Amino acid sequence: MKNILMCAMALTSLLAFSCKTTKSGNEQAALQKAIWYNWTGGIAGVGGTNYEISFEIPDGASYEVLSATIDGNTIPVDKVSKAENVLTVFLSENRSANQRSKDQPMINNPTPNYRTENPKSGQIELLFNDKSVTIEVTNFEKTDSKNYK
């Protein structure tokens, strides 16, 4: 009976110490959320779509946003902010009804062309701890439109 008890204790302590989680040196940014919304400006015909994509990053990670694409189109990075372990990339796709070709007629109250459905895909390319990393974004969530005056 004593041998069985000793074996059970040895097995328990072996399992307790062998299941310990270890941090690897190649931790990467993990997607936290991706939202988008349309906006209109205080001038008739000015508006666009803004995107906010947030990642959880490990402590002490170095990063630089290299590029961003939404549905295959390169979108300018408007701003990057970091609060604690969350990196948020702000993208702005501006549209103006005044951006027209010479062949299009002028209209009195132009309305910008807005996004009407969720983006199918997005990619953020980062220089993350001195390595190029592309993070795929597939689950965008639409939030309420904003009207700036």
For the chain, 149 residues long, give each residue's pLDDT as a single digit of tens.
Answer: 555 544 444 434 333 333 332 233 335 778 999 999 999 887 777 888 999 999 999 888 889 999 999 999 999 999 999 998 999 999 998 876 555 444 555 555 555 567 888 999 999 999 988 999 999 999 999 999 988 87
Structural domain contains residue 101: no
Residue 124 counted as domain residue: yes
**105 lies in a domain?**
no
Instruction: Categorise residue 19: left if φ over 0, alpha if ψ from -120 to 50, beta otherwise.
Output: alpha
Asked whether residue 134 is domain-assigned, the answer is yes
User: Contact, 87 vs 99, CB < 8 A?
Assistant: no
Model's pTM, two decimal places? 0.70
Would you state the pLDDT for residue 111?
Answer: 54
CA 36 to chain centre: 10
DSSP 92-122: EEEEETT---TTSPP-SS-------S--S-E
CATH of the domain at 126: 2.60.40
- The count of domains in the chain is 1
Does residue 34 sit within a domain?
Answer: yes
In a domain, 7, yes or no: no
Residue 125 lies in a domain: yes
Is residue 84 one of the residues assigned to a domain?
A: yes
Q: Which domain holds residue 118?
A: 28-96+113-140
